[in-house]
Amino acid sequence: MQTPTISEDTPIIDHDFTPEIEMGLLSQSPSISPKFLYDPLGSHLFTAITLLPEYYPTNTEKSIFTQYQHQIADAVGVGGNLIDLGAGNCQKAESFFNSLKPSSYLAIDFSEEFLQEAVNKLQGKYPHINMQCIGMDFSRQLLIPRSIATSNRTFFYPGSSIGNFLNSEALELLRQIKSQANEGGILIGVDLMKEDAVLMAAYDDPLKVTAAFNLNILRSINSLLGSNFRVDQFRHKVQINHVQNRVELYLEALEDLIVTWPGNSREFKKGDLIHTENSHKYTIESIKQLLKSAGFDKTQIWTDPKDYFAVIYAC
């Protein structure tokens, strides 16, 4: 059995995020990048979120994958190099191994520790597939290791994670993917705009798993920055921005407080918000236009009966 490797010819995550975190916390409207949600605990909490009945994206996307798996395989082709962006526990990519029969699999995620554990398990089940994993912040720059063949590449970006980016950021990432896909393409999951009640239930579930996931970012920042955020001084807050067609996640201060870290501090008044995530929702036409602007001229689209979600292969 092969042992999955962490590539050495692509930079691993730069662990000094202090300037970026400080800039966000000290800005007039404080924010924390959503990538910091995915420390090892956050990654496990997100896996739990995907099991909630209220969180429709995972089950809806899975139903599309299942119903149209053969059509998707025909569009993508078999035997290629599968590059999994934001791989998490790798289960979504695994669901295509039998139909796509990839010759190699590259898993990329922000949480390197969580990813290595998942790929180790996966390699044991599929010893014939050459597997690698990389801890990478591809929101900055996407760099595929030289060990991955340049031909027949398929980038796999499920779960509507593209919605976490502003339109300009999403366009830049898709352009990078297009430039590195060569003659290949991208298989992407996209969340479609829908009624507020469905969105609120998905992002503020009754069990408060999403709240725990969002609040955990404070612990993640404490470990990176040396700050003294207290989780019990904040609460999870969701807003739906109809102008921007997105769900916005915040942490709201429950009292006046001061957070300190080496060399700096930030005062929060009761009710102040820290922005932690956007989740943009698309229409079929808007995502097709975004992909076209990034250089993807051809698209095949599959949706569910309610038009809650779309899976798209673009090349």
Question: Model confidence over 164-222: pLDDT tens digits?
Answer: 999 999 999 999 999 999 889 999 999 999 999 999 999 999 999 999 999 999 999 99
Q: How far apart are CA 206 and CA 53, in angstroms?
A: 10
Strand pairing partners for 83?
106, 155
For residue 225, CA distances in Å to 16, 25, 136, 254, 259 come to: 9, 11, 19, 22, 11
pLDDT at residue 5 in the model: 55
- Please give the DSSP secondary-structure letter assigned to residue 165: S
Q: How far apart are CA 50 and CA 58, in angstroms?
A: 6
Does 299 fall in a domain?
yes
Q: Kindly report the backbone phi and psi dihedral angles of residue 99, in degrees, each rounded to the nearest multiple of 5, phi listed first.
A: -90, -40
Does 5 fall in a domain?
no
Does 205 fall in a domain?
no
Q: How confident is the model at residue 11 (pLDDT cuts 50, 70, 90)?
A: very low
How many domains in the chain?
Answer: 1
State the CATH number of the domain containing residue 301: 3.40.50.150
pLDDT at residue 9 in the model: 45
Question: Which domain does 103 fall in, by range?
Answer: 46-194+282-314
For residue 228, CA distances in Å to 28, 37, 225, 231, 259 come to: 20, 17, 9, 10, 6
Q: Could you report the per-residue pLDDT of 13-65, keeping only the tens digit for each?
A: 446 899 999 999 999 999 999 999 999 999 999 999 999 999 999 999 999 99
- Sign of the dihedral defined by the CA atoms of residues 75, 77, 80, 84, in that order: positive
pTM: predicted TM-score of the whole model, two decimal places: 0.90
pLDDT at residue 7 in the model: 53
